[in-house]
Amino acid sequence: MKFIFIALTLLNFAYADENVHSHVNHQHSERAEGLSVGSIDPDGLRINVDVFGLVCDFCAQAIEKVFMNRNEVTGIEVDLANGLITIFTKHGEDIEDNLIRSLITDAGYNVDKINRR
């Protein structure tokens, strides 16, 4: 009985691992050009953040989720190929650099620099 349980568990992990890798590779190629989530307020801020460690769609989704939960954010673009996150805020709204660094660091990535336009 124990042997069957272990065998089924190993098969499950092997199958799940194969699906995750094919999903990641498929999604990574779609994100190479930089896709946006949310909308862009033309009167809001555009904050570009150079980030180390962004390598797959799951990375992008984690960052998108963190920032899209913020009231001041209207949209976000994650460009995996260039390690760039672009945050779009509402008109008259802002996010402090320290908070941006903290949110990204807490998600497991390292911020190189932040540029505002």
Q: What is the pLDDT of residues 2-30, one digit of tens each?
A: 555 454 555 555 544 444 333 344 343 34
| CATH top class, domain 3-116 | alpha beta
Percent of the chain with pLDDT over 90: 52
CA-based nearest residue to 41, from 1, 73, 8, 66:
73
Task: Look up tokens 């660094």; give the residue.
Answer: 101
Give 62-79 pLDDT, tens digit per residue: 899 999 999 999 999 999
pTM for the model stands at 0.69
CB atoms within 10 A of CB 71: 8
pLDDT bucket at 48, cuts 50 / 70 / 90 = very high
